[in-house]
Amino acid sequence: MKKTEMEAILFCVHCNDETPHIITYINSKIISVKCEECNKVSEVKVDILKEFFKEMYERLLTKPSRITQEYKEDLNKFLKHLPIRLASKPYRLLRDLNQSRKIIKNFKH
Ligand SMILES: [Zn+2]
């Protein structure tokens, strides 16, 4: 799960003008748009937990097919790299989980 901020010129109904806005994304979904002139924030309703589970599900789902693809391409290479990869996977997942948890926590406030 990734939080991204982007700046864009948008029309603000409050200022009644085109002003710089900060757009905040989680993954590829917009969660809020803030006008930099009047600081008015427009929150976009996103089911943050649903996003999170969807991402985890997709990640787990795409892993086996990717491994199969590599297995087909080069068996020797695959076998040589497999133990390292399997060892680093739980750590990576855990790190992503912690990061996602932080985003979810901040989002709820
Ligand atoms: Zn404004």
Q: What does the mean pLDDT of the chain come to?
A: 75
- Tell how far the Cα of 52 is from the centroid of ligand 1, in angstroms: 31
pLDDT in tens, 41-89: 887 777 777 777 777 777 666 655 555 665 566 656 655 555 554 445 5
- Report which residue type is found at 102: K
Q: Give 10 Cα–ligand 1 centroid separation in angstroms.
A: 9
Q: Rounded to the nearest whole angstrom, what is the distance from the C-alpha of residue 105 to the centroid of ligand 1?
A: 27
Kindly tell me if the per-residue pLDDT of 35 is higher than 90. Answer: yes
Q: What's the 39 CA to ligand 1 centre distance in angstroms? A: 6
Rounded CA gap, 41 and 22, in Å? 9
**Which stretches of the chain are assigned E, i.e. beta strand?**
3-12, 17-26, 29-35, 41-43
Q: What is the DSSP letter of 14?
A: T
Q: What is this structure's pTM?
A: 0.48
- 7 vs 44 pLDDT, higher one: 7
Residue ranges of the domains in the chain? 1-46, 47-109
Residue 92: predicted pLDDT: 65
Task: State the Cα angle at 52 between 109 and 5, rounded to 5°.
Answer: 60
- Tell me 69's DSSP state: H
For ligand 1, the distance from its centroid to the CA atom of residue 36, given in whole angstroms, is 7
Q: What is the mean pLDDT of residues 19-37?
A: 88
C-alpha of residue 22 to centroid of ligand 1, in Å: 11
Higher pLDDT, 80 or 3: 3
